[in-house]
Amino acid sequence: MAKPKSRYVCQACGSVSSRWQGQCGDCSEWNTLVQEGAAVSSIFAAKHNLQGGGRSIALVGLDSPAALPERLPSGIAEFDRAIGGGIVRGSAMLVGGDPGIGKSTLLLQVGAHLASAGHPVVYVSGEESAEQVRLRAVRLGLGQAPVQLAAATSVRDILTTMGEGEPPALLVIDSIQTMHSDLIEGAPGTVSQVRASAQELVRFAKERGSAVVLVGHVTKDGSIAGPRVLEHMVDTVLSFEGERSHQYRILRAMKNRFGGTDEIGVFAMEGAGLSEVPNPSALFLTQRGEAVSGTAVFPALEGSRPVLVEIQALVVRLASGATPRRAAVGWDAGRLAMVLAVLEARCGLSFATAEVYLNVAGGYRLTDPGADLAVAAALVSALSERPVPGDCVVLGEVALSGEVRPVAHAGLRLKEAAKLGFETAWVPAGVKGVEGIALAEFGNLRRLVEQIMGR
Ligand code: TYD
Ligand code: MG
């Protein structure tokens, strides 16, 4: 057999090339190619015809009776809500988030809850010593929970230990980037190590029925563990979000083979760990006193729960001909560019010589497309220095034509706004009224500009 050729794997996108290059040919990142040993199995497979010699597999029809996945409620309602109603036995979950956001704290709390309910839980840390994890648990008031702790980084050692007794209901691996598998060469944290380690842990989950949770660091481009290599291996991908300077944290399912991805879990980071926030609708509103220009309140919907958020815009005129900056925190920058373009092309406003900043208050990340009109209102208000009324919520999706489109579940959103004391709503045409809130209809973005600028 020929000597396996070495290959070069881009640590950012996972693409493989046969020789080293300074820049990855696929994702154009610089200095991301790292030499890794070729996987023997793929060379073997390429040389052999795979027809014949295997075992027959059982084929079943679509209509055969399927059992619902067996779920273990973690006892933390916001966590269960985000994953669709409890931890599925034998499933693999990836929890990603920025360093220091609270992933270890969350999983220690989930583990402690499950363990206290009588389910065996093993928490393996590759980043902290068992003593450090224990001290944290004591600080969280969970010192009595029967969680088994270990500090380890060798996947073989971990799986050997797991194989010795009854497999745990939950195995937490904190974090997958610190793990290494001796089946493959390379330092921990490289794409092939992360992938190989995860593969073995996921196989353990499927074979032994333990739920395995992999904690993953988020890289600078926002993806978990660099490339998306882990996301397709696991059943559920959760992202733990928030600003470290703010108290609130959101657990969001990005992918879920066992449930929807629309519900979020909301937590507050406090002195004694994460506490649940069952009613988050008013969390992301700042203190509302006198109306100030450049802000608008949008009633977002997260799964079945409305969450009102304040959108803030700042428009700074530039004297020189320098290229103005556009930045969005908590909202999609591409969508900001689109709303700006529509305001310019359809409403005759000019942002060309101005820097534009958009911020969603409280570290909240807004993904709801119904926020376009509220963003436009904040921008027009910032540009004209005329406030949107303080008792007003704004909702509507903006089309490239400047038309304002309806938003799903407007009634639910408006009811919550009324409950929180808002008295008026700027909405697309055709929205049904809700008690306690006066509606103003905007069929077109031009109407919004007239309303704010008083033209
Ligand atoms: P941690 O769970 O270690 O984050 P991650 O695993 O995502 O890196 O959380 C670290 C932060 O959480 C730390 O900066 C302090 C804060 N924290 C609290 O505010 N209260 C607490 O009870 C705990 C345990 C942590
Ligand atoms: Mg941690």
The residue contributing the CA closest to ligand 1 atom 15 is 100
Structure confidence at residue 134 (pLDDT): 94
Ligand in closest contact with the CA of 176: 2
Q: What is the pLDDT along the chain (455 residues), one digit of tens a residue?
A: 455 567 888 877 788 888 888 888 888 888 888 887 655 555 555 555 667 778 888 888 888 777 777 899 998 999 999 999 899 999 999 999 988 999 999 999 999 999 999 999 999 999 999 999 999 999 999 999 999 999 999 999 999 999 998 999 999 999 899 999 998 888 888 888 899 999 999 999 999 999 999 999 886 665 655 556 788 899 999 999 888 878 889 999 989 999 888 888 999 999 889 999 988 888 778 766 678 899 999 999 988 889 999 999 999 988 877 888 999 999 999 999 999 999 999 999 999 889 999 999 888 889 888 999 999 999 999 999 999 999 999 999 999 999 999 999 999 999 999 999 999 999 999 999 899 999 999 999 999 999 999 86
Which ligand 1 atom lies nearest to the CA of residue 244? 14
| Contact 273 CB / ligand 1 (< 6 Å) | yes
| Contact 86 CB / ligand 1 (< 6 Å) | no
Q: Give the span between the Cα atoms of 299 and 301, in whole angstroms.
A: 7
| Contact 140 CB / ligand 1 (< 6 Å) | yes
pTM: 0.78
Q: Ligand 1 mean position to 175 CA, how many Å? A: 15
Q: Ligand 2 mean position to 388 CA, how many Å? A: 42
Q: Ligand 1 mean position to 448 CA, how many Å? A: 43
| Contact 217 CB / ligand 1 (< 6 Å) | no
Structure confidence at residue 28 (pLDDT): 83
| Contact 103 CB / ligand 1 (< 6 Å) | yes
List 122's β-bridge partners, or say none: 148, 171
| Contact 168 CB / ligand 1 (< 6 Å) | no
Structure confidence at residue 260 (pLDDT): 82
Query: Which positions ≥6 away from 60 have C-beta within 8 Å?
Result: none
Distance of CA 164 to the CA centre of its chain: 35
Helix (H, G, I), strand (E, B) or coil at 200: helix
Structure confidence at residue 38 (pLDDT): 57
Which ligand 1 atom lies nearest to the CA of residue 272? 22
| Contact 175 CB / ligand 1 (< 6 Å) | no
Structure confidence at residue 238 (pLDDT): 94
Ligand in closest contact with the CA of 240: 1
Q: Ligand 2 mean position to 99 CA, how many Å? A: 7
The residue contributing the CA closest to ligand 1 atom 2 is 102
| Contact 269 CB / ligand 1 (< 6 Å) | yes
Ligand in closest contact with the CA of 175: 2
Q: Output the DSSP codes for 17-41.
A: ESS--SB-TTT--BS-EEEEPPPHH
> Which residue ranges form the domains of the chain, and what is each CATH number?
6-47 (no CATH), 71-278 (3.40.50.300), 285-453 (3.30.230.10)
| Contact 100 CB / ligand 1 (< 6 Å) | yes
Structure confidence at residue 49 (pLDDT): 64
Structure confidence at residue 171 (pLDDT): 97
Structure confidence at residue 228 (pLDDT): 67
Which ligand 1 atom lies nearest to the CA of residue 97? 7
Structure confidence at residue 72 (pLDDT): 92
Structure confidence at residue 286 (pLDDT): 72
Structure confidence at residue 234 (pLDDT): 95
Distances (CA, A) of 401 to 113, 373, 375, 441: 52, 13, 16, 17
Q: Give the span between the Cα atoms of 68 and 64, in whole angstroms.
A: 13
Closest by Cα among 287, 455, 309 to 383: 455
Structure confidence at residue 29 (pLDDT): 81
Q: Output the DSSP codes for 115-181.
A: HHTT--EEEEESSS-HHHHHHHHHHTT-TTS--EEEE--BHHHHHHHHHHSSPPSEEEEE-GGG-B-
Structure confidence at residue 224 (pLDDT): 58
The answer, yes or no, to whether the previous bond of 275 is cis (omega within 30 of 0) is no
Q: What is the pLDDT of residues 195-225, one digit of tens each?
A: 999 999 999 999 999 999 999 988 666 565 5
Q: Ligand 2 mean position to 237 CA, how many Å? A: 17
